Amino acid sequence: MTLSSSGTVWNFAAGPSRLPDAVLARAGDVLFRRGADGAAVIERPFTGNAVRAVLESARERLTQLLDIPANYHVLFLAGGAMHQFSAVPMNLIDPASGLRTAAYADSGYWSRRAMREAARFAEVSVVARHDGSQALAAPAEDNWRLPQGCAYCHITANETVDGLAYPAWPNTGDVPLVADTTSSFLSAPLDIARFGLVYASAQKNIGPSGMTVVIVREDLLRRPAQSAPSPLCYRLQAEQDGCLNTPPVMAIHLAALVFQWIAESGGLSAMAEANRRKAELLYRAIDGSDGFYTAPVIAAHRSITNVRFHLADVSLTERFLSDAEKAGLIHLRGHRHVGGLRASLYNAMPLAGVTALVNFMAEFKRCKG
């Protein structure tokens, strides 16, 4: 592989994805070096003080970053967002209290996956979807008609595959708003109080795969969750501080390092500002290419973390990908369900990576345009 002029290879994968250099540099020592007690952290009992301190520190750091209100529980659970696709209805549907229906907004690939899984465990009502116009957009956030006996309303805050995001949160009144925030989590501040439950799998802005953050409002833990496997039951896990069974210590410890890196880098407002600048640079390159590149999502609903675009001449796509790879710009292929191109610009991607990409795009256009 020929490196870009900076000598660096930039990894634009949608997740698992690039981690902060500072975290990678420390991770081996933190996880695998034995301490004075003869044990590395991953060799210690999870019931002991040392591991509990790791879990507590991860929780405290995340609570500070997001300013999570005191009436929410923060859980670090094994598995991915897909585990939560089932866990959410299993925990929140409560037929005995008349809460039989789950409302879902259809905004793209992952919201439909979540909905399909929920339909195995609940009556699902689609309460919002894209308006059918040609330009891609998230559902408009007003005028949602929630069904009677609605246990919760689920949105996918940022659609990783489709490259679109909600510009504002819908108002669901007394019905708890549940959000899969996997690919936007920690990319910007998030007003947790707007939600009944927020979840995000790790492999975007949190760390390697294998763990999912669940932030759940206390009152929702009173629902019976009769059909949920115990380790997927929010109440049981909250009662045991996420340690009903052995937690994925390695993934949680790395998350704590990432949380620390975010705090030291200025916190979530600094992340948001940097992410906005990166996305702006790339979208401007696309929009200013005289139609050589196009982005299918309307401007107000464009994701700042997953920038989706394509070449007007789709026959150039494979050449673009192979030339980009030669220039040290990798994993730019769009998801197989939508095709085209996608650059994921999570927190760990510096502006320099995006600059390298837009420079390459200009050069590619100069040669092929």
Among all residues, which ones are annotated catalytic?
A: 110, 180, 204
Number of helical H runs and strand E runs in the chain: 9, 14
Binder among 5, 6, 37, 276 for a second copy (CB under 8 A):
37
- Amino acid letter, residue 362: A
The verdict on 276 binding a second copy (CB under 8 A) reads no
The verdict on 339 binding a second copy (CB under 8 A) reads no
Site for a second copy in 281-310 (CB under 8 A): none
Binder among 31, 221, 298, 316 for a second copy (CB under 8 A):
31
Q: Phi/psi at 145 (nearest 5 deg)?
A: -100, 100
Give the integer Cα–Cα distance in Å for 332 and 144: 35
| Cα four-point dihedral sign 78, 82, 84, 90 | negative
Binder among 18, 61, 130, 235 for a second copy (CB under 8 A):
18
In Å, what is the CA distance from 313 to each residue of 291, 310, 340? 10, 8, 11
Provide the mask over 133-172, with x wherever binding to a second copy is found by CB under 8 A and - wherever it is not: ----------------------------------------
Nearer to a second copy, 2 or 148 (CB): 2
Binder among 52, 57, 63, 82 for a second copy (CB under 8 A):
82
| Cα four-point dihedral sign 136, 18, 270, 354 | negative
Site for a second copy in 88-107 (CB under 8 A): 90
Question: Which residue has tokens 């020929």?
Answer: 2
Q: Which stretch binds a second copy (CB under 8 A): 31-39, 54-62, 143-151, 308-316?
A: 31-39
The verdict on 49 binding a second copy (CB under 8 A) reads no
What single DSSP character describes residue 316?
G
Structural tokens at position 70: 């005191």
Q: How far apart are the first and last CA of the chain?
A: 25
Structural tokens at position 257: 């390092």
Interacting residues with a second copy (CB under 8 A): 1, 8-11, 13-19, 24-25, 27-29, 31-32, 34, 36-40, 42-46, 48, 51, 78-83, 85-87, 90, 117, 120, 201, 203, 208-211, 226-227, 229-232, 244-251, 328, 330-331
